[in-house]
Amino acid sequence: MDARNRYYKGEYMVDGTAARQLQVVPDYERQHEQETRTRVVEQPKKAPKLSHGIDFISMILLSVALVITLYLCYNYLQVQGNIVQLERDVMVMEQELDIMLAKNDALEDGLNGQVDWEQVYLTAVGELGMVYPNNNEVITYESRETGHVIQYKDIPE
């Protein structure tokens, strides 16, 4: 056999620097598997229906949603404005309260400065006959609140 005949029969494994396939005959098993597979025929896709704008119901719903949103925004802004105004009113009233408390303390200090406590004691003991109470005659009252006590009945003697 000469080199030409051996080449066509597929006996050469290497011809020069390129490697040849050992088997020149196509693989029939692989072709048979591809043929036996069922081919899936794709259905042509329908083109989406083109819309020429918004339909009437969508427009009504969108309008209602817009009106509700604007109404809620308006009410929110009103509430925010009321809160800011109330905060300002509270600040003004707190300033007025501080001024009134300062005036009250000043008037109380002025009144306490005018009273002679020594003269009050001498008048109470000497002229009115008052005496200090004994320990068993003193009833203490503890108030939970500071301020004044409301008396509904007279205290019996």
Q: What is the pLDDT of residues 64-110, one digit of tens each?
A: 999 999 999 999 999 999 999 999 999 999 999 999 999 999 999 88
Residue 49 placed within a domain: no
Residue 34 placed within a domain: no
Residue 73 placed within a domain: yes
Residue 78 placed within a domain: yes
Residue 32 placed within a domain: no
Over pLDDT 90: what percentage of the chain? 34
Residue 16 placed within a domain: no
Q: Which of 3-17, 33-47, 102-116, 138-152 has the highest mean pLDDT?
A: 102-116
**Domains: count for the chain:** 1
pTM (two decimals): 0.40
- Rounded-to-integer distance, Cα 156 and Cα 137, Å: 13
Enclosing domain of residue 90: 57-127
Q: Sorting pLDDT into bands at 50, 70 and 90, what band is 46?
A: confident
Please determine, for residue 114, whether its predicted confidence score (pLDDT) is greater than 90: no
Name which of 137, 136, 131, 130 is nearest 156 in CA terms. 137
Residue 108 placed within a domain: yes
Residue 75 placed within a domain: yes
- Rounded-to-integer distance, Cα 95 and Cα 110, Å: 23
